[in-house]
Amino acid sequence: MASDRGTAHNGVAPSPFGSISLWLLLFALWLIMNASIELPVVLTGAVIALVIDWIFMCRSGTWWQVILTPKSVVHFIAYTGVFFVELVKANLNMLRYVYSPRIDIHPGIVKINTGLKSPIGRLALANSIALTPGSLVMDIQGDVIFIHWLDVKTVDPGLATEMIAAPFEKHLGAVFG
């Protein structure tokens, strides 16, 4: 079962673009966290970012597979908006359950299918699902995601995909593929 998760994406060669962008991201984080541009601080940050970058690139070259076009940027912003609306909805929903005198739920684990191919896209989808109303990702096996659903409305994979993943998948598909 574990084999289809690890081996499927190791064939991708690490690209210099991915390496450089990861280094830039780490270095920017370091600078923001330190809030200082003194030479020793900057040099230490550059070296540490390089080491972490090197370790990541040795282990897998697939961290950076974002499709960068104006359209994908628009989709990413739309995704952020959808995400926050769903997050607030999830919380209000949860409050309703928590403060109701009798907790009336029908939990269960259902299957959904994802059309996303890249591992980072699937990671984003799984994280988004975990923060949306009443659903939590339990496992991913190939294209199938197993979801613990607080109030199961349907056990049909097609309908469940439509209800849980569809709002995110459209935007994430455009950004991560």
Partner 1 sequence: MMELVGSIIILAGAFFLFSAGLGLLRMPDAFTRIQAGTKASTLGNILVLVGLGFYHPDWSLKLLIVAYFVLMTNPLSSHALSRAAHRIGIPMAASTFTDALRDAENEQKGKGAQ
Contact residues for partner 1, defined by CB under 8 A = 1, 29, 32-33, 35, 87-88, 90-91, 94-95, 97-99, 103, 105-111, 126-127, 130-131, 134, 136-139, 141, 144, 146, 148, 150, 152, 155
Calpha distance 36→104 (Å, rounded): 53
**What is the torsion angle, in degrees rounded to the nearest 10, for the CA atoms of residue 130, residue 136, residue 140 and residue 143?**
-80
Among 161, 121, 156, CA closest to 145: 161
CB of 73 to partner 1, least distance (A): 18
CB of 139 to partner 1, least distance (A): 6
CB of 119 to partner 1, least distance (A): 14
CA dist 25 to 18, 77, 140, Å?
Answer: 11, 19, 28
Do residues 121 and 76 lie in contact, with contact meaning Cβ atoms separated by under 8 Å? no
CA angle 92, 160, 140 (to 5 degrees): 95
The nearer residue to partner 1, 110 or 116, going by C-beta atoms, is 110
CB of 79 to partner 1, least distance (A): 13
The nearer residue to partner 1, 8 or 94, going by C-beta atoms, is 94
The nearer residue to partner 1, 58 or 98, going by C-beta atoms, is 98
The nearer residue to partner 1, 69 or 143, going by C-beta atoms, is 143
